[in-house]
Amino acid sequence: MAVYTHLSAEDLAELIAQYDVGRLVSAKGIAEGVSNSNWLVETTGSASAGTRFILTMYERRIEIEDLPFFLALLDFLSAHDCPVPRTIHDRQGSAFRTIDGKAVALIEFLPGVSVDHPTAAQARAVGVALARVHVAARDFDGARTNTLGIAESRRVLEACGEVALAAIDPRLPAALALAADVEAQWPGDLPASVIHSDLFPDNVLMLGADVSALIDFYFACTDAMAYDLAVTHAAWSFDKAGETFSEDVGTALVEGYESIRTLSARERACLPILAQGACLRFVASRAEDWIGTPADALVTRKDPMAFLRRLDFYRAQGTAAFA
């Protein structure tokens, strides 16, 4: 589920009237997603905006002061030929409004579906799209600190504590020492841009082997581009449980990326440690969510072990994981 707030037909019509998009025709809650409430909205349309939109109400995790950065980034990337939805601004020119104290944004609807079992051709297209974002975003004048970097992941794991981690899985406390080790080796000087930092298959819409949209930029931040590639490699090249690695998918992703932006020798050499840090970011956030979400909650908890297994793989393989 992901409609946490009820908006009446009257609320929706009043909201839509603030935009130059015609009159409200329908609004359907979207089941996918966990962080925000999302509706697919149809209107009678206008020449510039089309008739279909995603209405997002920001419910949790996102700091309202970060919204101008995230929404301006969507507009910037969309204007620079990246497959990213633009925001629809209201009649006053604002990218977001508030309803009962909660921020809402109207976002361009782009077609496509998220794949569960990516092919090499799809991974290649994702690599191309990711590199396009990195190259374009170098000229974006916004910046945002990565609040989920390696030091923060270590702190989150420490705050969870050994006992609570072991209650999830007896092997999970091993992540504490691994985080300290990876942090000690972390390269601080790699070329940076604005990065997506959460480019999982559910954040990419595809039409066949083509990327139609990269979505959910709500973890975007200024950080190393190679780190973003490592996150995407970890997210795309394994089965969900992190038990099986698809070498062809991983290779195609990196090849697609390098068809647009060549990695330096140092970035390449750092990929194994960056991938371990990426895994720890998801081990940490998943463990924290697991502990904070009751087992009978409507939201399905994501398994931190799926990323500890990936981490083991990257430690064992080193640069061979990216050959």
Ligand X SMILES: N[C@@H](CCO)C(=O)O
Residues that bind ligand X (CB under 6 A): 198, 200, 282, 285-286, 302
CB-CB neighbours of 259 under 10 Å? 12
Q: Tokens for 119, please give them.
A: 């092919």
Closest CA to 280 of 191, 187, 177, 209: 177
Residue 282 touches which member of ligand X, ligand ATP, none, C-beta under 5-8 Å by kind: ligand X
Residue 51 touches which member of ligand X, ligand ATP, none, C-beta under 5-8 Å by kind: none
Distance CA 274, CA 281 (A): 11
Least Å distance, CB 32 to ligand ATP, is 3
Residue 302 touches which member of ligand X, ligand ATP, none, C-beta under 5-8 Å by kind: ligand X
Helix, strand, coil percent content, the chain, rounded in steps of 5? 45, 20, 40
Phi, psi (deg, nearest 5) at residue 215: -125, 180
**What sign for the dihedral angle of Cα 139, 144, 147, 151?**
positive
Complex with ligand ATP: residue 204 or 271, whichever CB lies closer: 204
Q: Residue with the closest Cβ to ligand ATP?
A: 33
Closest CA to 140 of 71, 83, 67: 71
Least Å distance, CB 319 to ligand ATP, is 30
Complex with ligand ATP: residue 5 or 35, whichever CB lies closer: 35
Residue 216 touches which member of ligand X, ligand ATP, none, C-beta under 5-8 Å by kind: ligand ATP
Complex with ligand ATP: residue 117 or 266, whichever CB lies closer: 117
Least Å distance, CB 110 to ligand ATP, is 4
Residue 50 touches which member of ligand ATP, ligand X, none, C-beta under 5-8 Å by kind: none
Q: Which residue has the tokens 């371990």?
A: 276
Least Å distance, CB 51 to ligand ATP, is 13
Phi, psi (deg, nearest 5) at residue 22: 80, -165
Least Å distance, CB 198 to ligand X, is 5
Complex with ligand X: residue 105 or 215, whichever CB lies closer: 215
Which DSSP letter does residue 262 get?
P
Residue 286 touches which member of ligand ATP, ligand X, none, C-beta under 5-8 Å by kind: ligand X
Residues with Cβ within 8 Å of residue 127, at least 6 apart in sequence: 229, 232, 252, 253, 254, 255, 256, 257, 258, 259
Residue 22 touches which member of ligand X, ligand ATP, none, C-beta under 5-8 Å by kind: none
Residue 53 touches which member of ligand X, ligand ATP, none, C-beta under 5-8 Å by kind: none
Distance CA 172, CA 167 (A): 9
Complex with ligand X: residue 15 or 279, whichever CB lies closer: 279
Least Å distance, CB 198 to ligand ATP, is 7
Asked if 275 and 267 touch (Cβ cutoff 8 Å), the reply is no
Distance CA 232, CA 16 (A): 35
Asked if 153 and 281 touch (Cβ cutoff 8 Å), the reply is yes
Complex with ligand ATP: residue 69 or 313, whichever CB lies closer: 69
Which residues of the shown chain bind ligand ATP in the complex (CB under 6 A)?
2, 30, 32-36, 38, 54, 85, 107-110, 114, 202, 213, 215-216
